[in-house]
């Protein structure tokens, strides 16, 4: 889930970070006017892109996914409200689902951030919990997925590749990467279980 949500922000974030327009709608259209006004803010447009790419990276690292999700939640809440207020046709449903996914991940990470609301004189007891997300293989996987998402966001602008070709290539590379990582993870898990049983 963290990888998928991270993927959602890389193309749009890179577009803004590189100072490019996000849409080709004319300014006579309300949505086109809105995005053109945002684009004309200059540095703020780049900052929005930077924060989107940063949240995607943090989400994909797994180790800092909770921080990335908090940043993502702030951004996607604004994006959802904008899409609802501007009456985007299909985008409002997509942004709503991303918002729900972000809230779900925040609830999943409840033990990590609930400490913020504890009393000042409250002692936190630490307990070791071997979560798979902290294993190096998942951190490396997140880094690989982040690099892949940047490549797929940038390559179509540099190479004369059609949108469908890019989409199928991206899905193919992601699926191959995911299968390879799962095979490596399963082999390591099986090997560790075998060593423990001896």
- Cα gap 30→87, rounded to integer Å: 9
Spell out the SS3 assignment of the chain: CHHHHHHHHHHHHHHHHCCCCCCCCCCCCHHHHHHHHHHCCCHHHHHHHHHHHHHHHHHHHCCCHHHHHHHHHHHHHHHHHHHHHCCCCCHHHHHHHHHHHHHHHHHHCHHHHHHHHCCCCCCCCCCCCCCHHHCHHHHHHHHHHHHHHHHHHHHHHHCCCCHHHHHHHHHHHHHHHHHHHHHHHHHHHHHHHHHHHC
- Cα gap 8→14, rounded to integer Å: 11
Domain ranges of the chain: 2-197
**Per-residue pLDDT for the chain (198 aa), expressed as one digit of tens each?**
788 888 788 888 888 988 888 777 888 888 888 888 888 998 999 999 999 999 999 988 878 888 999 999 999 999 999 888 888 888 888 889 889 999 988 888 887 777 777 777 666 666 656 566 667 777 777 778 788 777 777 776 666 666 667 767 777 877 888 788 778 877 877 777 777 776
Rg of the chain (C-alpha set)? 20
43-61 helix and 30-39 helix, angle to the nearest 10 degrees: 90
């Amino acid at each position: 889930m963290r990888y998928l949500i991270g993927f959602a922000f890389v193309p749009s974030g890179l577009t803004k970070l590189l100072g490019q327009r996000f849409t080709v709608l004319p300014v006579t259209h309300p949505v086109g006017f809105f995005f053109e006004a945002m684009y004309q803010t200059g540095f703020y447009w780049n900052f929005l892109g930077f924060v989107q790419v940063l949240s995607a990276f943090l989400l994909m690292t797994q180790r800092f996914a909770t921080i990335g999700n908090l940043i993502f939640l702030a951004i996607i809440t604004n994006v959802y409200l904008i899409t609802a207020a501007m009456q985007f046709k299909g985008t409002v449903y997509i942004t709503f689902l991303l918002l729900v996914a972000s809230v779900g991940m925040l609830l999943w990470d409840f033990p990590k951030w609930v400490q913020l609301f504890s009393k000042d004189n409250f002692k936190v007891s630490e307990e070791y919990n071997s979560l798979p997300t902290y294993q190096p293989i998942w951190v490396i996987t997140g880094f690989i997925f982040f690099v892949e998402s940047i490549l797929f966001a940038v390559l179509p602008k540099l190479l004369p590749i059609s949108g469908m070709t890019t989409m199928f290539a991206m899905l193919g590379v992601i699926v191959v990467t995911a299968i390879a990582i799962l095979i490596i993870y399963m082999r390591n898990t099986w090997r560790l279980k075998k060593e423990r049983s001896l």
